Structure 1
């Protein structure tokens, strides 16, 4: 009976994908029916299994549906077992296998620019959309909380008192990852300031500054450009809610889950059939068209993230060259060419 119900579940998903594109399938898996089929066809060679004389294998479509549902909700495998009629032991194998297949299929969706022209395109987009010159990415990092790994001592123990791995990301002006690194042990990231002021990495002026001052205007302009990466992490955790709770997984499996969410993010950002579902109206921060004051995106109304924790900010004395570059940018924002009309009002 259990296997029979699984086959019925398979048929239900298949018919829903083909016949009813307006059903709850999109909300169930966070992806359009068209893109679901696209992924099934693309990675079937990577994870397809053969039936045996003793049992039928779980079809690729169900393997993908199980994995997407897990990423979308973070449900326990026991809950998914009753939903899909697949044992939790098998689900524990299906999810990482499917994630590996997805990463292999989607690997071209996250790539660093390789030519000067590709870097210049990102720079022009930051200048056009966010009025910040010479910027080729917004960077941030988060601790991904996991259960205490076996026999690792304090390697994964971070400053918040949790065990974690670290996600470091660089995003472009269009909310897409250009670089990600996942898996660094939580303790290692606490040993240094990952984002200290440097010649090629800008940080705000510390301390309090007078309204409309050069320093305060620079901080406003920098913060405005940096909201891009905040929004990417926000929508990532709003859609893939597995990232909103501690992962009861070994570090290498938590790394797979996190990587898959990032690759799916870039994939869905480029697919017309899923884009409106993934980036529903109002989910990103926007600006008032007249005043340019910030309007919070809907992702900020979610409960505070218990699993995506900020990296610890440890002060470090910057070099004179780094401070000179920041000063040069701050002065540029005071010129007729570099200023924006609303900066003194909002800074």
Structure 2
């Protein structure tokens, strides 16, 4: 992070983290408070190490990390991770077609486990298949490695499919309130297909979610489809890799509350810095818009969903994509890969 980017971030977060001086002593300034939080997020150092570097108490560092991480999320989420509208989904689909040769794709979806300290009396809620305790992150990433939708706080015992079922994003996907573009004809073929998210085998096959064919008795055509889907889905794996290598706090286990705050701050900071790199302008705020702002949809808390069984329509849609990738949508190098 350059000094200019730090100053810009301070201008956005500073008003939320400024503390008034008291008659007993001066408060820690917003610039130093932000630096302490960023130091923790970027290095994952212990509170005592950071306290020694900044000559403050380690309990003070713990309080600053909690407060500033929450302020970073509040200050940046509307700018760097707004709820996508129909035109945003169309732009994402165009980028996937241009960069990854996957038409009608509006995002790659995946989950990630973040190791935490198991809370007292949590039993097996946070215990995962890797024999550690963790929180589950669910994220949708676009073709430019930007996080567009995130859900943080799932229990470690939940699978990726279970996290999707229990998330607000999953419910919005199911009831059709995501404002996805209508079905369109894939370029180069006369097939009317929906806009879809691509995921791995852990996710269910839905009308708007594609997963690979199972390896049992797989044909060459289906293997070609799996390759093309995995190629597009790789962006979410790379995004998680960039996130965890840039923000080393993912390698330190803390309480679920602190982990959730820090992870959400890392998401918006990732987008904040990534937009500077790719030169993409974020959506203007309501105050900057001259037109009357429409009602902004939100992803609300939802109850559990039903089963993950694929419908006949979902199976047929995957076959249609498979046919396209083996006919009109074939790329020159895929024959040498599969």
TM range (shorter): 0.7 to 0.9
Match of 1:112 in 2: 83
Q: Alpha-carbon deviation of 1:171?
A: 0.8
1:193 Cα shift? 8.2
Give the match for residue 259 of structure 2.
Answer: 254
Q: Aligned in 2, Cα 1:65/1:128: closer, same or farther, shift over 3 Å?
A: same
Answering whether residue 223 of structure 2 is matched by residue 232 of structure 1, we say no
TM-score by length of 2: 0.76
Q: In the alignment, does 2:110 pair up with 1:140?
A: yes
Contact 2:161 2:204 (8 Å CA) reproduced: no
Q: How far is 1:187 from its partner?
A: 2.3
> Deviations for 1:154-210, whole angstroms, at most 9, x for unmatched residues?
222222222211110001111101100001122244784851222211111111677
The structure 1 residue matched to 2:334, chosen from 324, 337, 343, is 343
Q: How does 1:195-234 map to 2 (within 5 A)?
A: 195-207=203-215, 213-234=220-241
Counterpart position of 2:119 = 149
Aligned counterpart, 2:142: 172
**1:323, 1:170 → 2: CA distance?**
22
Asked if 1:241 is matched to 2:216, the reply is: no
User: Quick one: which of 269, 275, 293 aligns to 1:264?
Assistant: 269
Q: Return the alpha-carbon distance in structure 2 between the equivalents of residues 272 and 165 of structure 1.
A: 29
- Return 5+ residue gaps in structure 1 as ranges: 1-30, 276-314
Q: 2:322 aligns with which of 318, 330, 339?
A: 330
TM-score by length of structure 1 reads 0.74
- State how far apart, in whole Å, the 2-side matches of 1:215 and 1:189 are: 25
Q: How many residues of Structure 1 are paired with residues of Structure 2 in the alignment? A: 273
Cα offset, 1:253, TM superposition = 1.5
Contact 1:196–1:318 (8 Å) recurs in 2? yes
RMSD value over aligned CA atoms? 2.2
Q: Distance in 2 between matches of 1:193 and 1:86?
A: 39
2:138·2:163 contact (CA, 8 Å) conserved in 1? no
Gaps in structure 2 of 5+ consecutive residues:
165-202, 281-306
Q: Aligned in 2, Cα 1:190/1:233: closer, same or farther, shift over 3 Å?
A: closer
Shift of 1:344: 0.6
